[in-house]
Structure 1
């Protein structure tokens, strides 16, 4: 039997939770309250505020004394950089702190008290890990952890059940709970802020899976705290969206295309099929979840602006941090 070497035991103090928030101080309060109750706690909590206009800064400050030995770092962006820009900055701050592990999350989740211990259990074996989440109503939230690489779209019916190993290989990522080691961040660089929203975490997780075995583990570590309108499809749900999401989901296909070209995995026919399927899925979402056909113009506008990105000869992937350090 082949012996698989493992890393040193996980030290919670080497982990940083990086949170991105925007004008949702009520939800942020619930998340920070859950972090206070964690055992163990991380070494740092980084809150990236995407230029909120509510009382977010005051809320963050009110938790500073309650975190014990955990250092709380607050960064307010000058403008709203979207989830992509926020997570890129959160990752940068955490990396610069020397964090060995970076745990990314939105402001609309709570951490379960033993969440970090559960993730840390897998840290000696893997360097790109996704835990499981409970949905708003307490049900098990299903996340599409596999990507059909040639199409660059999630596989909607990848098996949900786990075997005795307790993990499943993944080639995607979700910033609502991504747990990633600094070695992988160093190699693939920071999340790409050019996405603004949508496809950024899938792409980042895909990039990570090209460098290290990436897994989703059978550990419930987060609970979603925001109710989202859904269409119940039986074994799966389809969430409501917004005009902004409709625009970026189509526009950002061009950024994925550029990454595929740079990494020599781009097949124009299959990638185009993936874009067509994405467009069709968004039409279905409009009709069956939101009960309207208004909003289709945002899909076409996203495709139009994406063509400009796809033709940009100066486009480059996010640089590895090791290269940036060498150049600096």
Structure 2
């Protein structure tokens, strides 16, 4: 099978310089496509040099190909563009990741093994906190219950035949099959950031895709923000972020995702959590009207409001 990696980057050249050599050392990759979201930190120049040198490298390695976008389209636009390019180029499987992740050396091998063995269409590794690999970077809800876990030991204990069925952290080292992309289309580029990955996962599930986390495959990611902050006396969590840009996109995109895939009751629960969190858990009264503006914009089809928060 033809396997291509798609990396989306924006102004994180040191992280990209750490990731690309790891991918070049990964057996089984046909090429590495880097989608540069109009970076201004020298990323484009570095990639141009790498692209030229990789073509003339004496040791066989997957070539690095860059796609430089004229404007910053966010992770959503980057993955939309990169996945489209890879599939158009004939890839059977596309390995998707941001620039700040780092797959273990055997990550791709383990994923490919389970794709072949279990006919997985959308699978990914356990995404571990780089600062503490014994914990997940992003907490997950285990299937068949309400338990949200952070410890890798809990994930391993819950796995069946090495898999957590129906669960994956999308766009963090995930493998997506060409057949699935042709069946469901591309990520929603207008989402910019936050929620585009969840929407693509839920769209895949609705289409009947075989989805799973391969527990033995590992992918490191810096633990950032206050994802999974406990609230309501520890009964639930909230994905808080200090960034107004991220929160605006989360409030807008999560509202749309819940309406489309879970129904209005879940939208109302999300808004109850948002109001509670910024009133009692981490009081920030200005976040509530910001959230309302974001959701209202999304519901009327306006995906331009996040631009005011771009730096």
Q: TM-score, normalised by structure 2?
A: 0.79
Q: In the TM superposition, what is the alpha-carbon distance from 1:259 to its structure 2 partner? A: 3.0
The equivalent residue for 1:58 is: 45
Which one of the candidate residues 155, 159, 162 is aligned to 1:160? 155
Which one of the candidate residues 81, 106, 119 is aligned to 2:73? 81
Change (3 A) 1:212 1:238: closer
The equivalent residue for 2:308 is: none
Aligned residue pair count: 282
Question: Is there any run of 5+ residues in structure 1 with no aligned partner, and where?
Answer: 1-10, 149-153, 288-292, 314-328
CA distance in 2, matches of 1:44, 1:284: 49
Q: TM-score, normalised by structure 1?
A: 0.75
The equivalent residue for 2:256 is: 255
Larger mean Cα displacement after TM superposition, 275-284 or 208-217: 275-284
Secondary structure of the 1:228 match is coil
Question: Which whole-Å deviations, capped at 9, do the CAs of 1:215-273 have from their partners, x for residues lacking one?
Answer: 1111233222x453658989x9977541111111111134315533xxxx52x223311
Q: Greater share of strand residues, 1 or 2?
A: 2
Tell whether the 8 Å contact from 1:169 to 1:216 is kept in structure 2 after alignment.
yes
- Map 1:190-229 → 2, pairs under 5 A: 190-210=186-206, 211-224=208-221, 226=222, 228=224
Tell whether the 8 Å contact from 1:247 to 1:299 is kept in structure 2 after alignment.
no
Secondary structure of the 1:113 match is coil
Which one of the candidate residues 19, 24, 33 is aligned to 1:31? 19
User: Structure 1 residue 189 and structure 2 residue 185: aligned?
Assistant: yes
The equivalent residue for 1:16 is: 4
Change (3 A) 1:167 1:204: same
Tell whether the 8 Å contact from 2:80 to 2:189 is kept in structure 1 after alignment.
yes
CA distance in 2, matches of 1:186, 1:284: 45
Tell whether the 8 Å contact from 2:171 to 2:197 is kept in structure 1 after alignment.
yes
Question: Is there any run of 5+ residues in structure 2 with no aligned partner, and where?
Answer: 231-236, 303-311
User: Structure 1 residue 49 and structure 2 residue 33: aligned?
Assistant: no
The equivalent residue for 2:307 is: none
Larger mean Cα displacement after TM superposition, 90-99 or 276-285: 276-285
Tell whether the 8 Å contact from 2:155 to 2:215 is kept in structure 1 after alignment.
no
Change (3 A) 1:135 1:305: closer
Q: In the TM superposition, what is the alpha-carbon distance from 1:134 to its structure 2 partner? A: 3.0
Change (3 A) 1:52 1:279: farther
Tell whether the 8 Å contact from 2:139 to 2:149 is kept in structure 1 after alignment.
yes
Tell whether the 8 Å contact from 2:24 to 2:62 is kept in structure 1 after alignment.
no
User: Structure 1 residue 135 and structure 2 residue 109: aligned?
Assistant: no
The equivalent residue for 2:234 is: none
Change (3 A) 1:94 1:147: farther
User: Structure 1 residue 270 and structure 2 residue 266: aligned?
Assistant: yes
Change (3 A) 1:302 1:183: same
CA distance in 2, matches of 1:308, 1:228: 27
The equivalent residue for 2:233 is: none
Q: In the TM superposition, what is the alpha-carbon distance from 1:277 to its structure 2 partner? A: 2.1
Q: CA RMSD in A?
A: 3.2
